Structure 1
């Protein structure tokens, strides 16, 4: 089983890059499933429904949300509540009896005679809000689904630190097929298959403006670097883009066999 995974899609340039490159990548790799993180898809912020549907129409099977998931919640609320929604949120958001966060934190997809489970988690360290312990939450989800049989289990762990990613992968070694990081926007060079067959990469990398500060226009963030003061962050709207991803091959019993990185630089 082959799965294409793409990291954070950032703004107009990221959407354009994915639209341009995905058909060729599908032809080359012939994936059974496609996963993409879309937390920055709308002007570098959380998704609106129009942009969610754009990515869905490209053939993406599962979209994940990240810490910007709630930015435009009103726009995607109804979509998230659909039984066939392809967008999932971090599973470990806190919920209360008086407040329900829409959507689910995992999705089961069946296609091409294969069955894939995708779980989305967000880390605690250096995030802008507190969440339930992701290491406990993932075990709770897997426990609740222990009677189901999957050809592959993929974890999108949205995080800042590499140590959390490695900790999650080792915790799930032999239980999950692939643990991949999103959020830092920089593709890492540490892809690895652990002893019990779980693959990992600290960050898949961003899909967005090539000449940018992780997607943002430098002039809009320069004040923060020079003075420590805030300011509005603007997306870089140049025509140069980078597409980052991985093609992961899963063998018998859900074990990771190969991890092939994807990095394409071109123009819209």
Structure 2
């Protein structure tokens, strides 16, 4: 089983880069499933129907979300129309949308994908991601040995701890949210692939995809600032995973590209 996972897609520049580069990546790696975090895809915050359509037409098979899930009211329509758009599983059970799913890969086998969000420095009122993960994974593993977890979290300690907690139970735990790709990709002793943060698909000359002068202004003045997506060169960050028949990771490689879009 081969999987590509793309980090947080940020605004139009990130979407344009995915539209440009993903077909090349698919040709190069021949993934059976392509997953991307899309919680920043619509103007830098949230997801809309139009943007979801665009990402699916670009070659993305499954979209995971995070702390900006509810930015647009339209998200309820997105979640209702697309079962392949997943909001974090540790929201209350009454929350609209799917948080985990089985998706048929190009090779015909089902792959489980689970979206989770961290509590530390992010959403402390959500349910415990460790407990929710175990519950959801047990259901997915009844159907498939292949399970991928997107852990959208701020604290590196929380991400690493969850990965060790799930080692041997899932194929991979990939971290999102910080928009900065880490260089710690590895295969844990139980066969679970891991990286603390996949990074982002968005403007390089920026602060996490936002115009740097606006981010600096916010830090200096301590006042609210309306963020805008930066322009200029863009980067695509992701990971490529190869899984064996038991669902264990046998290869995990970072994917990093930079490009000037006209």
- Using structure 1 for the length normalisation, give the TM-score: 0.93
Aligned to 1:114: 109
Counterpart among 107, 122, 135 of residue 130 in structure 2: 135
Counterpart among 222, 237, 258 of residue 228 in structure 1: 222
Aligned to 2:78: 79
Give the match's secondary structure for 1:63: strand
Give the match's secondary structure for 1:120: strand
Aligned to 1:17: 17
Aligned to 2:54: 54
**2:37/2:176 contact within 8 Å kept:** yes
Counterpart among 121, 130, 142 of residue 126 in structure 1: 121
The 2-side partners of 1:130 and 1:51 are apart by 29
Aligned to 2:198: 204
Counterpart among 71, 80, 89 of residue 91 in structure 1: 89
Aligned to 1:214: 208
The 1-side partners of 2:17 and 2:150 are apart by 21
The 2-side partners of 1:202 and 1:263 are apart by 15
| Runs of 4+ residues deviating >4 angstroms | none
Give the match's secondary structure for 1:242: strand
Question: Where does the alignment leave 5 or more consecutive residues of structure 1 unmatched?
Answer: none
Offset from partner CA, 1:55-78 (integer Å, 9 cap, x none):
011221110111000001x21312
**1:208/1:243 contact within 8 Å kept:** yes
Instruction: State the Cα RMSD in Å.
Output: 1.3
Aligned to 2:147: 153
Number of residue equivalences: 260
Offset from partner CA, 1:210-255 (integer Å, 9 cap, x none):
100000001222222212222111111x231000001100012000
Offset from partner CA, 1:173-212 (integer Å, 9 cap, x none):
1110000000000000000101110010000001000100
**1:215/1:235 contact within 8 Å kept:** yes
The 2-side partners of 1:159 and 1:14 are apart by 20
- Using structure 2 for the length normalisation, give the TM-score: 0.96
Question: Where does the alignment leave 5 or more consecutive residues of structure 2 unmatched?
Answer: none
**2:69/2:75 contact within 8 Å kept:** no
The 1-side partners of 2:22 and 2:141 are apart by 34
Aligned to 2:166: 172
Give the match's secondary structure for 1:231: coil
Counterpart among 85, 98, 101 of residue 104 in structure 1: 98
Counterpart among 246, 257, 261 of residue 264 in structure 1: 257
**1:62/1:107 contact within 8 Å kept:** no
Give the match's secondary structure for 1:207: strand
Counterpart among 180, 186, 192 of residue 192 in structure 1: 186
Offset from partner CA, 1:130-165 (integer Å, 9 cap, x none):
2100000011112334532x1411000000111111
